[in-house]
Amino acid sequence: MKGAMQSNDPLPLTVEELTASWFTKILEKPVKEVTLVEAIHGTASKILLKLTFEDDTITPVCVKGGFNPALVASLPFMFPIYRLEAEFYYYLAPKLKIPLPRTIYSGTDTVNGQGLMVLEDLRAKGYTFGNPLETWPVSRVEESVKQLATLHASTWGSRGNDIPSLSKTLSLRDAVVGLLAPGEWEKRFAPDTRPPVPKQMENRELILATFKALWDTETKMNCLVHGDAHVGNTFIAPSGEPGFLDWQVIHPGSAMHDVAYFVIGALSIDDRRQHEKKLLQSYLEALHAAGGPEMLLEDIWDEYLKQAFHGFAWVLAGPMMQKREIVDVMSERHCIAIEDHKIIELLGA
């Protein structure tokens, strides 16, 4: 992988700046033509391109970063998130033995604060992407929690001090507190937008107190976590093997945050009720096999349950963040798990 962190040379900020001469410079190989296939603008922009080299070979690539001028002008705190993902692919990804897109180039600059990656175009290679509306089979979820175990074992005890932008991004906690402000809550629970939550969970003060109780709990499982491990942030290889994408909010936290959030959101409610403990046992075995500590299910079960409350964040996600039908189905899966396990009572809010 080629790359340059904290470069004094400004990186492109628009699709138009992704030119043949820029690719020639970063790849150190003559590119004679760049063809735009598709520009997908979300939290980050994904720009699908075809690069034609001097020998007429064509390589499909995906350039991910901040290429939506209107978005970054209104939300300047997005740039540290783009840099964090670029730093993940530069510093951490090469050390992880989990499926990830091949990174061709990863860079950040000190001029605009941009962060971007040039990745292989998975779609062009026949990969598909996870859809939260479609639950996963238990076997595929098990593969994924084993990958999370590898990530966690590789970073066990780490605070991420070697990843420069980690301390500069808006934390999940800050985001949740913002979404729990009275005005935001009223918007989410207006009659025409109300998510499917049990009556008990319509109490804003109770939910805020429960989140605060969660954040006050001690963890014995500190490591770097993906932070947003759900089916919508996954890819599936033609072989059927899954993998995680969108490493924009990686941060130090409890390993159980990732595991509970993923398992509850990925499985049907019935499958989760039947297989939750089995999947957690598979995770613990994989964690130890990957060099992490040996832990017993009964010793970490309460931590798993407490961390599962993070799933309530789906209820707070507005239409700018996710489609309504996705928010509703994910909110239902997580809220039923919170009810099943009496997690609000467990946290004692």
8-state DSSP, 250: -
Choosing from 122, 156, 181, the residue where a domain stops is 122
Describe the chain by its helix, strand, coil percentages, rounded to 5. Answer: 50, 20, 35
Q: Are residues 110 and 146 in the same domain?
A: no
39: its two tokens: 């520009």
Which tokens is 311 given?
């799933």
> How far is Cα 146 from Cα 63, in angstroms, rounded to an integer?
28
Domains: count for the chain:
2
Of 91, 122, 153, which residue sits at a domain end?
Answer: 122
Q: Are 3 and 118 in contact (CB under 8 A)?
A: no
The whole model's pTM is what?
0.94
- Nearest to 267, CA basis, from 340, 190, 167, 347: 340
Tokens representing residue 23 in the block: 């690719």
In this structure, are residues 236 and 129 in contact, taking their beta carbons and an 8 Å threshold?
yes
Give the CA radius of gyration of the chain: 21
Instruction: Please state, in angstroms and rounded to a whole number, the distance separating the CA atoms of residues 33 and 83.
Output: 27
Looking up tokens 């998510």, which residue turns up? 195
Residues 6+ apart with CB under 8 A from 331: 195, 196, 197, 314, 315
What pLDDT score was predicted for residue 192? 85
In this structure, are 318 and 261 located in the same domain? yes
d(CA 2, CA 16): 22
Of 122, 152, 167, which residue sits at a domain end? Answer: 122
**Cα 201 versus chain centre, distance:** 25
Q: Are residues 314 and 192 in the same domain?
A: yes
What does residue 295 show for φ and ψ, rounded to 5 degrees? -130, 150
Same domain? For 16 and 106 the reply is yes
Distance CA 142, CA 277 (A): 11
Which residue in the block uniquely carries the two structure tokens 């509306």?
A: 133
Smallest CA-to-CA distance from 205 within 186, 178, 184, 182 is with 182
149 and 265, same domain (yes or no)? yes
37: DSSP letter: E
The verdict on 25 and 142 lying in the same domain is: no
My answer on whether 240 and 281 are in the same domain is: yes
Based on the domain organization, do 298 and 182 belong to the same domain? yes
- The verdict on 79 and 132 lying in the same domain is no
* CATH code for the domain in which residue 54 is found: 3.30.200
* pLDDT per residue of the chain (349 residues) written in tens, 0 to 9: 899 999 999 999 999 999 999 999 999 999 999 999 999 998 899 999 999 999 999 999 999 999 998 888 877 788 999 999 999 999 999 999 999 999 999 999 999 999 999 999 999 999 999 999 999 999 999 999 999 999 999 999 999 988 888 877 767 788 899 889 999 999 899 888 888 899 999 999 999 999 999 999 999 999 999 999 999 999 999 999 999 999 999 999 999 999 999 999 999 999 999 999 999 999 999 999 999 999 999 999 999 999 999 999 999 987 666 788 999 999 999 999 999 999 999 999 7
Q: What is the domain-level CATH number for residue 195?
A: 3.90.1200.10
- Are 104 and 160 found together in one domain? no
Query: Letter for the amino acid at 309?
Result: F
247 shares its domain with 290: yes
State both tokens at 346: 């467990």
- Sheet with 115-120, strands from edge to edge, namely 2-7, 103-109, 115-120, 58-65, 45-53, 31-41
Instruction: Tell me, yes or no, whether 118 and 200 share the same domain.
Output: no
The token pair that represents 4 in the structure block? 């340059």
How far apart (Å, rounded) are the C-alpha atoms in residues 235 and 242?
6
Return left, alpha or beta for 28; rule: phi > 0 is left, psi -120 to 50 is alpha, else beta: left
Q: Which domain holds residue 169?
A: 128-347
Cβ-based burial of 156 (10 A; exposed 0-12, middle 13-18, buried ≥19): middle
